[in-house]
Amino acid sequence: MISKNTADTLRSILSPTLMERIKNGETSIKIAVGGGIFALAIVMAIAILWLNGVALQYLWELFVVPIFKLPDLSIAQSIGILLVVQFLTKHLVKEDAKVEKKEDDTLSLSEKKTKATKTILGSLAKPFMKPISFIIMGWILHTVSATV
């Protein structure tokens, strides 16, 4: 049996929605949400890095090893090469942010929410789609070249 104090505590925790609690400034909720987002970002970064390493390892095995007679790469070596290349190359940043900001001012609230959802989902999917599409294209090219 739950005591009255425990029931009241549970009711006070569960009755307001999470967003209301965040708006009211409950620090514990903000810390928990922020920590969850941070943990998700770390897990996604590791997953994306690993997937890119797998893609490089696979493409290296398909194309570089037979042509140049170089040894295979491990996933760790592939990730290392990716990190070196990323460190040494310049990555361009979009300059269209100001134009998009002006366009956002004319949108309704529901249109802004829809656009934000699409942007978030696109930002989450894009880093996974690039290595997967490269693996598929590499497999197709390797299969076609093996039959010719």
Tens digit of each residue's pLDDT, the chain (148 residues): 456 666 566 556 555 565 566 566 666 666 777 777 888 889 999 999 999 999 999 999 999 999 999 999 999 999 999 999 999 997 765 655 555 555 666 777 788 778 878 888 888 889 999 999 999 999 999 999 988 7
Which letter, b or e, does each residue of 18-51 get, where b requires 16 or more Cβ atoms within 10 Å of its Cβ? eeebeeeeeeebeeeeeeeeeeeeeeeeeebbeb
Torsion of CA 27, 37, 42, 53, to 10 degrees: -170
Question: First vs last Cα of the chain: how many Å apart?
Answer: 75
Q: Where are the domains of the chain?
A: 17-147
